[in-house]
Structures are given as structure tokens and as C-alpha cells.
Amino acid sequence: MRRERSITLIDTQSGGDVSRVVTAGIEPIPGTTALEKARFLEREGDGLRRLLLSEPYGDPAMSVDLIVEPGHPEAQAGYIIMEAMGYPLYSGSNTLCVATALLESGMIEMVDGEQQIVLESPAGLAHITARNADGRVESVTTQGAPAYVADRAVTIEVPGIGPVACDLVWSGGYYAMIDATAQGFTLAREEEIALTAFGDAFVRAARPGLRREHPSLGDVGPLPFVHFMGPVEDSADGRCVSRSATYVHPGVLCRSPTGTGTSARLALMAVQGQLRPGDSLETISPRGNRFVGTVIGEDTVGDFPAWHSHITGSARLLARSRVTVDLDDPLVDASDLEPLLSW
């Protein structure tokens, strides 16, 4: 008897980064909150992440978002984010994709015009404004957890490169913020391979000495992200503009400027006195894709001054599909995956 199951997906992209939204085919995940469910998958069910992000089913440059029942009464849906690095607690581009997929699929009823929805990520609630027209989500603005600067002016000795200065910022995951110009990068598309190699070497050198703790979330794991920062310029409409690039360990350079990378940059610029509430920064990835981040207010996380921000971008649906999973295929880790799959 053949042991086959199926998983229903909506593939989406935001700023060129592909998110595979899992809408059916998975049993209810133990836990009450999205965070508890994410940590269960990390401990007991990592086969789903590996399956959908590895050949022949997927690619490590993609992300996976599993729709789950929310634990918070304000949320209309919960989602667990899975990437090459593991289980990030929050992601701007993934949130844009999940909101768009839920609305355009009808899993959340869409209303033309401006629509407010609330989703529960592992980091907490994401408050979302979708702007809809003629059955399509034209843009999404999301506010996740506040970002804060955890460490300033840290120097990492990187083999083959030398000393590299960075600031460490939390914005749903820890980011090492690096001045791209100081490392000889202009953040052009032809530098993608070199940026990826630099990011890999930096993370491997930096991980042993950087903090892993979050004041309320506890141990959040080793450093997963590097954000390369280009010079800041002023646009004609008064908005700050900067080229940027985000590296995700291991081996992925994002196509988008990333929402959490942009939030981290906003928090760092606020600490430096370059931005105040109401000010915006448009980040541009090496592929020319753009997000707009806006500082909206101050807060605290533990003992750290923190900043709330909005990230605005758009997402598009790429495909609706049903993936067949053959549990007898030697490329499928059936022992880790089978308990998660619905009949």
C-alpha cells in the first residue's frame, strides 16, 4: 500500500522573496500560541521545514509559512515562519505574503478599500492594514514587535577578512548591522555572490561571542541575519533612501530588502538621532526591490529603549498547488514528517 499524503500550498512573493504558505494537509500542532507551536515543530517536526525548503520539493532561498489556529483572541489566524536558518519569530516579507494569501484565497474575507486584520506570529501580534481593490491586495502595511539596539560598536575578527565592526539589533531576530561601504560594497546585484560569502564568513566568526537572549522570549538561538547598510540619501519627497542587503545564514541573500532588516535599520537610525517618530526610510535591495519603513513610536523591551515601526510593501500570488508527499521516497524524512501530515 502506497503511503502518500498531500500538502496544499499558496506560493507567493514579496520583493522577489518566495514564501510558500501551507494552508492544508497538516495536523493541528500542539501548543496554544504560535510561539509554542513553532517551538514544538523545531523540536519534534522539523521534517516539514526541511521537505519544503530542500530539493526536489523546494529551495533553501524560499520561506515556508504554516497557517495555524491563533492563541490570541484578537488574531484571525496564526502563522509559523520557517527558513533556511530555522524558525524566525517574525518576518516582514513573510507577513506581507501571509496576509495577501489569506485575503486573496478567501480564508479571511476581503473587503475593498482599507482593511484591518490581526495575525499572530511567534513573536506576537502583527497589526496589518491591507489596501484592496477589485479582489486584489494592492499593498500591505504591517506592524510587528518593537525593535531595539542590543549592542553597539562590536568588532568581530573574521578569518580572511579582518576586523569587522557591527551593531547588534533585535527586530524579530538578531541582526548584525554592517556598514557596506566600509567593506567595499556598493550593494549592486553583481555583488550578490561576494555578499553571500562575506555574510557566511562573518556569521561563523561572530556566533560564539554574540548574545542569544531576548528579555521576554529567552534564548532565541545563534545569530541568523546580517544586514548590509548603504549610504543614506534624501529623496525628492523628503523620505530617506538607502540601498541594503540582508544575508540569512546559511547561504541565502534575500531578493527583497526585508521587513525586519528595514525595522532594524530604523531602530539603529533612531538611536543615532537620524530618525524620529513619523520619519520614513525606503530600503532598496541589490535587485532594486523596495520596502518603506516608518518609525511610529517609542517603547521599551526589558531595559532597552525600543521603536515601533510600520513596514509597507506588496505581495503577489505565484501558484496554488497540492504537493504529493511519498513517505516511501528515500529523499523524504518520513519518521519526522509522517506524524504531522493529515490523511
**What distance in Å separates the CA atoms of residue 137 and residue 314, rounded to the nearest whole number?**
8
The residue that leads in pLDDT, 334 or 288, is 288
Cβ atoms of 298 and 263 closer than 8 Å: no
The owner of cell 544575508 is 247
Q: What is the pLDDT of residue 97?
A: 98
Q: What is the pLDDT of residue 145?
A: 84
- Indicate the pLDDT class of residue 33, thresholds 50, 70 and 90: very high
Annotated active-site positions, please? 91
Which tens digits make up the pLDDT trace of 34-77? Answer: 999 999 999 999 999 999 999 999 999 999 999 999 999 999 99
Same fold across 4-144+317-340 and 147-312: yes
**What distance in Å separates the CA atoms of residue 169 and residue 311, rounded to the nearest whole number?**
17
Domain assignments of the chain as residue spans, ordered by start: 4-144+317-340, 147-312
**Which residue, 295, 296, 266, 307, is CA-closest to 283?**
266
Mean pLDDT of the 21-26 span: 98
The 8-class DSSP code of residue 31 comes to: S
Task: For the domain made up of 147-312, give the CATH fold.
Answer: Diaminopimelate Epimerase; Chain A, domain 1 (3.10.310)
The answer on pLDDT for 297 being more than 90 is yes
168 by DSSP, 3-state: which? strand
Which percentage of the chain shows pLDDT scores above 90? 93
Q: What is the pLDDT of residue 336?
A: 85
**What distance in Å separates the CA atoms of residue 181 and residue 228, rounded to the nearest whole number?**
9
**Which residue, 319, 312, 266, 315, is CA-closest to 17?**
315
**What distance in Å separates the CA atoms of residue 230 and residue 211, rounded to the nearest whole number?**
25
**What distance in Å separates the CA atoms of residue 17 and residue 118, rounded to the nearest whole number?**
22
Cβ atoms of 180 and 186 closer than 8 Å: yes
Q: What is the pLDDT of residue 136?
A: 96
Which tens digits make up the pLDDT trace of 157-203? Answer: 999 999 999 999 999 999 999 999 999 999 999 999 999 999 999 99
Q: What is the pLDDT of residue 68?
A: 98
- Indicate the pLDDT class of residue 266, thresholds 50, 70 and 90: very high
Q: What is the pLDDT of residue 144?
A: 86
CA distances from 20 to 85, 95, 145, 178, 320 (A): 16, 12, 23, 29, 10
Which tens digits make up the pLDDT trace of 86-123? Answer: 999 999 999 999 999 999 999 999 999 999 999 999 99
**What distance in Å separates the CA atoms of residue 161 and residue 169, rounded to the nearest whole number?**
22
Which tens digits make up the pLDDT trace of 199-245? Answer: 999 999 999 989 899 998 899 999 999 999 999 998 777 789 999 99
Q: What is the pLDDT of residue 335?
A: 87
Question: Is the C-alpha dihedral spanning 130, 131, 132, 137 positive or negative?
Answer: negative
**What distance in Å separates the CA atoms of residue 191 and residue 54, rounded to the nearest whole number?**
25
Right CATH for 4-144+317-340 from 2.120.10.30, 3.20.20.70, 3.10.310.10, 1.10.3720.10? 3.10.310.10
Q: What is the pLDDT of residue 281?
A: 97
Please state, rounded to an integer, the average pLDDT across all residues of the chain: 95
